[in-house]
Amino acid sequence: MNRTIGVFALQGDVREHLRVLDGLGVETIGVRRESELDRCDGLVIPGGESTTMSKLARTFDLFEPIRHRIKEGMPVLGTCAGMIMLADRVEDGTADQETLGGLDITVRRNAFGRQVDSFEGDLDFTGLDAPVHAVFIRAPWVEQAGPGVEALATVEEGEAAGRIVAVRQGSLMATSFHPEVGGDDRVHRLFLDLIDES
C-alpha cells in the first residue's frame, strides 16, 4: 500500500525519523506548510522543544491544519516533545504552552529531569515480542490517562517505576522516549500498522 508519512519539520529530530521511515520503504516528506500536510496519510511529531514547536506551527500556519487533521482521524505518532504536543493537558508547562491535543492524557514536561538526567533502558512494549531499548532525553511522562487510552509501556524500575511512557488512543500513538535513535524500527512499524488500520 502506498503511504506518504510526513514528519513535522520546523524543529526537532526530523532527519532521524525520516531515515527510519525511508528504511521501511515508505514515502516520506518533511512538513513545513499546509500543502505538504495535505499529502500525508500519517504524521510524526518528533522530539524537540514543545513550546518552540507550537509557536513555529502558529507562525507557519500549520497549527490549526494539524489540529483539524487530528480531529478527522489522521494517524499521528508523537515522540518526546511530540507526546506533549498531542496531550490534552500539560503539567509544568510554560504560561503560554499550547498543544494540538487529541490524546486524553496529562503529561508532565521534563518529568525525568534535565538533560543531564537523560538515560536509557529496556521496556516491555505492547504488541512487540521483545523489549524496546528506550532513550529518554528530558522526557515527559504520563501523569494521568483517560479511560480510552491504552498504556503501551511503563517504566519498570527506579524512581519512575510504574510511570506510563507510551500510549495509544484511536489513531494517535505517543512515546516519552526516542524510538528514532538506536536502530530499532519496531515502534515505527507499529505506527505504519496503525495507518493501515485507519
- Catalytic residue numbers read 80, 178, 180
Dihedral in degrees, nearest 10, Cα atoms 189, 141, 168, 24: -10
Whole-angstrom distance, CA of residue 52 vs CA of residue 182: 25
Phi first, then psi: give them for residue 174, nearest 5 degrees. -150, 145
Three-class SS of residue 87? strand
Whose cell is 496529562? That residue is 106
**Max CA separation in the chain (angstroms):** 45
Rg (alpha carbons) of the chain, rounded to whole number: 15
